[in-house]
Amino acid sequence: MEHPGERYERGLKALQFVSGQAEPAVVDAETAPDLARYVVEFGYGEVYSSPGLEPRDRQLVTLGALAALGNAAPQLRFHINGALNAGCTRAEVVEALTQIAVYAGFPAAINAITAAKDVFAARDADE
Amino acid sequence: MEHPGERYERGLKALQFVSGQAEPAVVDAETAPDLARYVVEFGYGEVYSSPGLEPRDRQLVTLGALAALGNAAPQLRFHINGALNAGCTRAEVVEALTQIAVYAGFPAAINAITAAKDVFAARDADE
Amino acid sequence: MEHPGERYERGLKALQFVSGQAEPAVVDAETAPDLARYVVEFGYGEVYSSPGLEPRDRQLVTLGALAALGNAAPQLRFHINGALNAGCTRAEVVEALTQIAVYAGFPAAINAITAAKDVFAARDADE
Amino acid sequence: MEHPGERYERGLKALQFVSGQAEPAVVDAETAPDLARYVVEFGYGEVYSSPGLEPRDRQLVTLGALAALGNAAPQLRFHINGALNAGCTRAEVVEALTQIAVYAGFPAAINAITAAKDVFAARDADE
Amino acid sequence: MEHPGERYERGLKALQFVSGQAEPAVVDAETAPDLARYVVEFGYGEVYSSPGLEPRDRQLVTLGALAALGNAAPQLRFHINGALNAGCTRAEVVEALTQIAVYAGFPAAINAITAAKDVFAARDADE
Amino acid sequence: MEHPGERYERGLKALQFVSGQAEPAVVDAETAPDLARYVVEFGYGEVYSSPGLEPRDRQLVTLGALAALGNAAPQLRFHINGALNAGCTRAEVVEALTQIAVYAGFPAAINAITAAKDVFAARDADE
């Protein structure tokens, strides 16, 4: 039987992989400690860590979801970076976001490309 | 230089591949002939046929977008079927739609699973 | 100074014009009497009756809004009918809804065309 | 330390309370067993069961969310029923859904009232 | 019979209560005088002032709606502040916004928490 | 038969008309060259240039769509400017955006008015 703390540990590792950071912070834990814990334990420790889909595949699904919703720019940038960390090339990310024009309209695709441009520039600056 | 009709031909082939049908009809062509043509020429003949992303990858992006939007059930069913035609297993489709709970909420994921159940049943009935 | 009842009377006339019906019912008044009254008094008696925009123009804005949102099929059908009552041709309605593909994606446009097809058929049956 | 199975047990009790059913099924568990488990363990066993907010308050937040999104009719009906089970009167539910007109537009409010009418009728039939 | 100006007066009082300001301005009245008037007369003078639901309950519904929509940050901050003015504790606001993760996804909840953090900081600075 | 380059030329002219700029750039062409080309060739060279609807009518539909979606501020500003270039008066634009309150809620309308205020100020500054 799984020890409750294992979910958190497993989630943290997945989150570190996606973010490429040792101490990723996706939500203000001081303001909302439960939400911060749920992100790690449930979002990454359960759903993301489920063995049924490869990380690169998961990132493509997530790019589709966040770009189409169009109302979550910080998370879209986070997951564009995550897609690159999971093995997508920049060209594949651009192609995936371009495709959003067909399913959610050109504004959603254009704003997602702006997010991608920001992420690419930040990664270039980090090198 | 490309002959204008080539876009339509290429799009029709892509649409046949995704739908698994010889004469796919995704929009009422009698009511909206231009829209029906745009779907084939632009959606499938240009965006979908662009070489930068594999069909299976494109379907994962599209599942993410349509499941997250949650307001396009006919298209979601069409592309769940398309994901299976492009090489996703049923388990992978279910895993991708389950992941939507994290990014767009449980109702979006639950309704996407209902769509998947319908598609799986229809494919079972066709065999 | 305006008598409070005048808003309702003016709204009812506007609603009759848009719907083409003598006794239009857009919300179940028995379940939600206040909402039913707000639709008439505020939606039609104030906003719609404001002199700054022609009825045909208002219907184009509303078609754009409802088709893009993609989650209000009964209201979209109501306002496709309203657009025709306000002077749009069927071809113009189809063109307006086709344009939605650019701003909100093909699924939104395709589902709006399905709504238009239903409205056109209902009007043909009424003749 | 909490036994992992306790989350499920606690979630099931919360789900039974909200649904008013002994064996509530909100997602097809055969098609998506993980999602079905997440709903109970995470949605109800963790978030809903967190002590910081009363059940009636939670249902008001949920009615606001689902009515505003406007793309999850089965879940809206489920939670209208849940709001009544948590102590809201029918008049309060109608008032809450009417208020949605201000924040998400009249179509969202009108369609939510249609959902409420269905739920009220089903409860009347059960008596 | 009610004097038309009474709606405005009643709405202004409700808006002052929610905002905690003597001269609240939620829309640029110079650019859109009718919209500014509708907010007060209809939004606050009619819907919000309707006796069927307590102010605190109304704020919970509104937090649910705005956090789930995820595209109206200024209004979400306004109504987080309003929820506190109507008697919610900070912990209850955080709990309500955390719950949004279940119904509209983690990005919506995370961005709502960012809004709450801003509001809490502004109130701390005002003290 | 149409030469493929004609679509681009025709689209560029339409885009110049809507934007009022000689070299309009709506998407970063260096990051996403295909998307930038699709906007011109498909969005403006095909859909917008289709003869079935006048430019002013098209802009009203687009204002409705973008204001209702509420997640595409850069594009909404672009098309408010485009509506003025296509013959709408400022008062008509304000009236159209005010009407969005009825169909997508007050926050969507209020944020659209903020966008309009920005566009009006930029045009005043250009004179």
CATH (domain of B63) = 1.20.1290.10
Measure in Å the smallest separation between the Cα of F27 and chain B Cα atoms: 16
CB-CB contact of C124 with C90 (8 Å): no
pLDDT at C6 > cutoff 90: yes
Shared domain check, D62 and D46? no
pLDDT at A125: 95
Of C37, C52, C67, the one marking the end of a domain is C52
Eight-class DSSP state of B61: H
SS3 state at E121: helix
Percent of chain A exceeding pLDDT 70 equals 97
CB–CB contact E95 D50 (8 Å): yes
* CB proximity D66 to C under 8 Å: no
Q: Which chain A residues are Cβ-neighbours of E110 within 8 angstroms? A: 26-27, 35, 39, 74-75
Chain A residues in contact with D50 by the CB 8 A cut-off are 34
E98, closest residue in chain B (CA to CA) = B105
Is the predicted ipTM greater than 0.90, yes or no?
yes
Is F61's CB within 8 Å of C98's CB?
Answer: no
Domain count, chain F: 2
Is E35 in the D-facing interface, judged by CB distances under 8 Å? no
In chain B, what residues touch F43 (CB-CB under 8 Å)? none
Residue C47, chain D, CB below 8 Å: the answer is no
User: What's the pLDDT tens digit per position in A5-22?
Assistant: 999 999 999 999 999 999
Task: Provide the pLDDT confidence category of residue B127 given band limits of 50, 70 and 90.
Answer: confident
- Do both D44 and D85 map to the same domain? no
| Whether A51 contacts chain D with CB within 8 A | no
User: Distance from first CA to last CA of chain C, Å, rounded?
Assistant: 43
- One domain, residues A79 and A44: no
Question: In angstroms, what CA-CA distances link A117 with A92, A97, F77?
Answer: 13, 11, 21
C-beta separation of A48 from E110 below 8 A: no
Instruction: For residue D87, give how far its alpha carbon lies from the nearest alpha carbon of chain E (Å).
Output: 13
Q: d(Cα E1, Cα F55) in Å, to the nearest integer?
A: 47
| CB-based contact, E68 to chain C, within 8 Å | no
Do the chains contact at C106 and A103, CB–CB below 8 Å? Answer: yes
* Nearest residue in chain F measured CA to CA from C99: F47
Same domain, C108 and C66: yes
Tell me: do A39 and A76 sit in the same domain. Answer: no
What is the model's pLDDT at position D26? 86
- Structure confidence at residue A2 (pLDDT): 64
Phi-psi domain of F118 (left: phi exceeds 0; alpha: psi -120 through 50; beta: other): alpha
Q: Cα(B13)–Cα(B18) distance, rounded to whole angstroms?
A: 9
Which residues of F fall within a CB distance of 8 Å from A106? 35, 38-39, 43, 75
d(CA E3, CA E6): 5
Q: Are D49 and D11 in contact (CB under 8 A)?
A: yes
Instruction: Identify whether residues F43 and F91 lie together within a single domain.
Output: no
Query: Coil, strand, or helix at residue D14?
Result: helix
Question: Would you give per-residue pLDDT tens digits along chain D (127 residues)?
Answer: 566 699 999 999 999 999 999 989 889 999 999 999 999 999 999 999 999 999 999 999 999 999 999 999 999 999 999 999 999 999 999 999 999 999 999 999 999 999 999 999 999 998 7
Q: For residue E53, what is the DSSP state?
A: S
Q: What pLDDT was estimated at residue D127?
A: 77
Question: Using CB atoms within 10 A of its CB, is residue A38 exposed (0-12), middle (13-18) or buried (19+)?
Answer: buried
Q: F89 CB near a chain E CB, below 8 Å?
A: no
- Tell me if C61 sits within 8 A of F63, measured CB to CB: yes
Residue B31 to residue C107, Cβ atoms within 8 A = no
Mean pLDDT of all residues in chain A? 95
pLDDT class of E4 with cuts at 50, 70, 90? low
Q: Are residues C65 and C117 in the same domain?
A: yes
Task: Give CA–CA dist A9/D45, Å, rounded.
Answer: 20
Among candidate residues A52, A73, A89, the one where a domain is terminated:
A52
Give the pLDDT mean for C55-63: 98
Q: Is B66 near chain A, with CB under 8 Å?
A: yes
Element (H, E) at E9: helix E4-19
Question: Is there a single domain that holds both residue E72 and residue E39?
Answer: no
Of D67, D96, D101, the CB nearest to E53: D96
The C-alpha of B107 sits at a distance from chain E's nearest C-alpha, in angstroms, of 6
Least Cα separation, residue A34 to chain E (angstroms): 8
Reference E49, options E77, E82, E15; nearest CA is E15
CB–CB of A70/F71 below 8 Å? yes
pLDDT-based confidence at residue E2 (cuts at 50, 70, 90): low
What residues of C are in contact with residue A108 (Cβ under 8 Å)?
105
3-state SS class at E38: helix
Contact residues, chain D, for E76 at CB < 8 Å? none
Q: Which residues of E touch F95 (CB under 8 A)?
A: 34
CA–CA min distance A42, chain F (Å)? 28
Nearest CA in chain F to E31: F117
- Reduced to 3 states, what is the DSSP secondary structure of residue B70? coil
Report whether C70 contacts C107 (CB < 8 A).
Answer: yes
Which are the contacts of D52, defined by CB distance < 8 A and separation ≥ 6? E91, E92, E94, E95
Interface probe for F, chosen from C46, C49, C50, C53 (most Cβ of F below 10 Å), is C53
CB contact under 8 A, A50 and D34: yes
- CB < 8 Å to B103, chain E: 105-107
Measure in Å the smallest separation between the Cα of D4 and chain A Cα atoms.
Answer: 7
The H-or-E segment that residue F18 falls in is helix F4-19
Inter-CA distances, A55 with A85, B52, E59, Å: 9, 19, 39
Chain F contacts of A98, Cβ < 8 Å? 32, 34-35, 38
CA distance C113 to D5: 49
Q: Based on the domain organization, do E127 and E67 belong to the same domain?
A: yes
Q: Which of C43, C58, C68 sits opposite F68 (nearest CB)?
A: C68
Q: Residues A70, A41: one domain?
A: no
Q: Which of C18, C19, C31, C77 to probe the D interface (max D CBs under 10 A)?
A: C31
Contact B70 D74 (CB under 8 A): no
Q: In this structure, what token pair is assigned to residue A52?
A: 């049924």
A120 to chain F, closest Cα gap in Å: 9
C76 and C109 share one domain: yes
Nearest by CB: A98 against F35, F69, F72: F35
Q: For residues F65 and F75, give the distance between their C-alpha atoms in angstroms, rounded to a whole number.
A: 11
Judge contact between D101 and D109, C-beta under 8 A.
yes
Closest residue, chain F, to B3 (C-alpha): F4
Summarize pLDDT for F101-119 with one digit per residue, the tens.
Answer: 999 999 999 999 999 999 9
* Structural domain boundaries enclosing E15: 1-52
List pLDDT tens digits, range A36-85: 999 999 999 999 999 999 999 999 999 999 999 999 999 999 999 999 99
Chain A residues with beta carbon closer than 8 angstroms to that of B68: 64-66, 68-69
The pLDDT tens digits for F53-100 are 999 999 999 999 999 999 999 999 999 999 999 999 999 999 999 999
Residues B46 and B3 in one domain: yes
Above 60 in pLDDT, residue B1? no
Q: How many CB atoms lie within 10 A of CB B2?
A: 8
What is residue F126's predicted lDDT score, i.e. its pLDDT?
86
